[in-house]
Structure 1
Amino acid sequence: MKIVVASDHRGFQVKGRILAQVAELGHETIDMGPVNADIVDYPDFGAQGARAVSDNEADRAILICGSGIGMSIVANKFPRVRAALCHDELTAEMSRRHNDANVLCLSADLLGERLTSRMIEIWLGTEFEGGRHARRIGKIADLETPDDLPAADCTPCS
């Protein structure tokens, strides 16, 4: 699989370890930055990673920021992206098995190195179960189509 990995400055060191692990597991990696630990804004890098999955340029993405929350919010703005913020082995497994998550969001500040490594191994190795879960994923995809969304009110606030 082709796996994009991106972070903000808080996740920069973790990103390096993840890139090495993903390559060691036999996957192609794409480093979407940042290139150093200088302060950056997570939406910029999260959007790049999520867009690569949304546009079918990558199979999956792993996004890291301080809490993982910001990356999750950003990633889920993109069509065909199902980003899951995971915090243990079970949530990593279930995000794939039941939700077909194609973006894994992780906390750089709240997870230890061994747990992060194990979560990535599980997440990359777990298949989507399909069945009743596929119907539910289809319903999520239906929400991404703007056909029945009301027109935005563009009146400026006073």
Structure 2
Amino acid sequence: MKIGVGADHNAFDLKEAVKAYIVNLGHEVIDYGCYSKEEVDYPGVAFKVATEIKDASIERGILFCGTGIGMSIAANKVPGIRSAQCHDVYSAERAQLSNNAQIITMGAKVIGEEAAKKIAEAYLNVSFKGGNSERKINQIMDQEKEYFLHGSNC
């Protein structure tokens, strides 16, 4: 698979470690930044990876920031994208199996390197099969389309 990775400065080291691990698993990795520990805002990185998935340039994404929360929120702002914050193997598997999440996020200030590697591996080792989950995902995506077509009353 072609996997996009990205991080802010808080998670640069974790991204680099997981990126190397993913390559060793046999996947192609595209790095969307950041490329050093110099301070960078995470939304732009998340938007790049999510847009590349939407445009089918990459198949899945793994994003890192301090908590994983901000990256997930930002990625989910790109229409059609489902991003899930995952800090354990089970959640990473379910992100794909139950939610067909194209992106998972992790927090460098929350989990360690070895856990992050296993979470990435678990996420990449499973594929969405549909079933009952597909109906639920379709409901979510239909609601998203409705908001884009007609706007929100909020």
What TM-score do you get using the length of structure 2 for normalisation? 0.93
Query: 1-side partners of 2:103 and 2:152: how far apart?
Result: 28
- Equivalent residue in structure 2 for 1:149, among 144, 148, 151: 151
CA RMSD of aligned residues (A): 1.4
Could you tell me which runs of 5 or more consecutive residues in structure 1 were left unpaired when the two chains were aligned.
Answer: 153-158
Q: Partner residue of 2:25? A: 25
Q: Partner residue of 1:155? A: none
Does the 8 Å contact 2:3/2:61 carry over to 1? yes
Deviation for aligned residue 1:144: 2.4
| Letter paired with 1:93 | E
**Counterpart check, 1:79 vs 2:91:** no
Q: Partner residue of 2:130? A: 130
| Letter paired with 1:10 | N
Residues 56/151 of structure 1: CA separation in 2 closer, same or farther (3 Å cut): farther
Does the 8 Å contact 2:79/2:144 carry over to 1? yes
Percent of paired sites with the same residue:
39
Q: Partner residue of 1:46? A: 46
1:45-70 C-alpha deviation (Å, 9 max, x unpaired): 11111111122111001000000000
| Letter paired with 1:19 | K
Deviation for aligned residue 1:151: 8.1
Query: 2-side partners of 1:87 and 1:16: how far apart?
Result: 17
1:5-53 C-alpha deviation (Å, 9 max, x unpaired): 0000001011111111111111111000111100110111111111111
1:54-73 superposed matches below 5 A: 54-73=54-73
Query: 2-side partners of 1:80 and 1:3: how far apart?
Result: 17
Query: 1-side partners of 2:60 and 2:143: how far apart?
Result: 21
Deviation for aligned residue 1:150: 4.5
Q: Partner residue of 1:4? A: 4
Q: Secondary structure of 2:110's partner?
A: coil
| Letter paired with 1:117 | K
What TM-score do you get using the length of structure 1 for normalisation? 0.91
